[in-house]
């Protein structure tokens, strides 16, 4: 089980890492460093000297995808052989081992469509889904003590709403990116939206997300869900840090390092939000509390 857990953490780290290297491809203008897919050029799987640094950067990101596939396959094999068997973890590992090649194919489609911003957005969202599955696998393999089931349905649905809203904010962030610079290539198309308007809408939804997270944090602490409450606190901290980076990068005209930090922050945000959702579900009330004993009423008393 130690090996299984180590591979699950390795899968999470690899999925976080490929988000950062994919961002490096886009920020350095290397999105079409390998102009075709699955080969780098029409006649070779590896870049040649004429492609220069951009070809090397794009090819390096593709090589990391191979590493990610290897980690996912190794995790799947070891999880299947682990004893005692954990069927939920086997199912999650299977989704991961299928999702990584799907992500690679979608990455190829982005190249074949000359970095269409809408396809690039889906490529990013799928990366967030893989990160969420990796966190789920880590949680399923962890030997954590059981928690009291104290979270009522209203609080559970609030946390579920926060989790869903995280993905709405992340997707809108990809639309903001698709309307601005750092397209991945100087000739890559843009989505045609006004960057200022898209950024303002994104910022408004971030403020709403922070408010919902504060509400979830207070509710979880009020019902005594300690682990879920801690996860909500971490999520709030990541949201505030991510918002601060986004504000500074917008005010300083999108410097590369801050954009990369914002991209990595989005991946961390997904991981922490997933953990909050999982801890809340673990503490969710599955049945109504027993009704208090019924006191005898006047009509129940009969004279014999």
Two structure tokens written together for 251? 């005010």
Burial class (CB in 10 A: 0-12, 13-18, 19+), 124: buried
What's the pLDDT score for residue 128? 96
- Written as tens digits, the pLDDT of the chain (304 aa) is 788 889 999 999 999 999 988 888 888 888 888 888 888 888 788 887 667 788 888 888 888 888 888 999 999 999 888 777 788 889 999 999 999 889 989 999 999 998 999 999 999 999 999 999 999 999 998 877 888 899 999 999 999 999 999 999 999 999 998 888 877 777 788 888 998 999 999 999 999 999 999 999 999 999 999 999 999 999 999 999 999 999 999 899 888 899 999 999 999 999 999 999 999 999 998 765 555 556 656 555 555 5
What's the pLDDT score for residue 50? 66
Torsion sign over Cα 23, 130, 13, 106: negative
What's the pLDDT score for residue 287? 61
Q: Evaluate whether 162 touches 216 at the Cβ level (below 8 Å).
A: yes
Burial 174-204 (b: 16+ CB within 10 A, else e): bbbbbbbebbbbeebeebebebeebbeebbe
What's the pLDDT score for residue 40? 86
Nearest to 115 by CA among 42, 189, 34: 189
Compute the radius of gyration of the chain from its Cα atoms.
23
- Chain centre distance of CA 138: 14
What's the pLDDT score for residue 13? 93
Distance (Å, whole) CA 275 – CA 235: 9
Two structure tokens written together for 127? 């990366």
Distance (Å, whole) CA 113 – CA 131: 25
């Amino acid at each position: 089980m130690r090996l299984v857990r180590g591979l699950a953490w390795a899968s999470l780290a690899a999925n976080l890492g490929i988000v950062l290297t994919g961002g490096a491809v886009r920020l350095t203008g290397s999105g079409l460093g390998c102009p075709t897919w699955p080969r780098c050029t029409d006649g070779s799987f590896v870049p040649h000297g004429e492609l220069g640094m951009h070809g090397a950067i794009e090819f390096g990101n593709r090589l990391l995808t191979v590493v990610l596939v290897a980690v996912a396959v190794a995790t799947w094999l070891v999880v299947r052989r682990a004893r005692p068997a954990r069927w939920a973890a086997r199912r999650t590992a299977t989704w991961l081992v299928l999702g990584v090649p799907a992500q690679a194919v979608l990455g190829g489609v982005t190249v074949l469509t000359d970095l269409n911003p809408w396809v690039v957005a889906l490529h990013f969202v799928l990366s967030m889904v893989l990160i969420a599955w990796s966190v789920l696998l880590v949680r399923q393999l962890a030997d954590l003590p059981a928690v009291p089931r104290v979270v009522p349905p209203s609080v559970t649905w609030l946390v579920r709403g926060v989790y869903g809203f995280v993905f709405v904010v992340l997707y809108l962030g990809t639309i903001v990116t698709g309307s601005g610079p750092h397209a991945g290539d100087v000739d890559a198309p843009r989505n045609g939206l006004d960057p200022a308007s898209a950024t303002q809408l994104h910022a408004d939804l971030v403020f709403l997300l922070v408010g919902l997270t504060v509400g979830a944090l207070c509710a979880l602490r009020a019902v005594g869900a300690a682990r879920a409450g801690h996860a909500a606190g971490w999520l709030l901290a990541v949201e505030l840090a991510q918002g601060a980076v986004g504000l500074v990068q917008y005010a300083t005209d999108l410097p590369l390092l801050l954009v990369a930090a914002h991209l990595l922050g989005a991946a961390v945000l997904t991981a922490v939000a997933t953990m909050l959702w999982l801890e809340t579900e673990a503490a969710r009330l599955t049945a109504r509390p027993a009704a208090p004993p019924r006191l005898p009423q006047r009509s129940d008393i009969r004279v014999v």
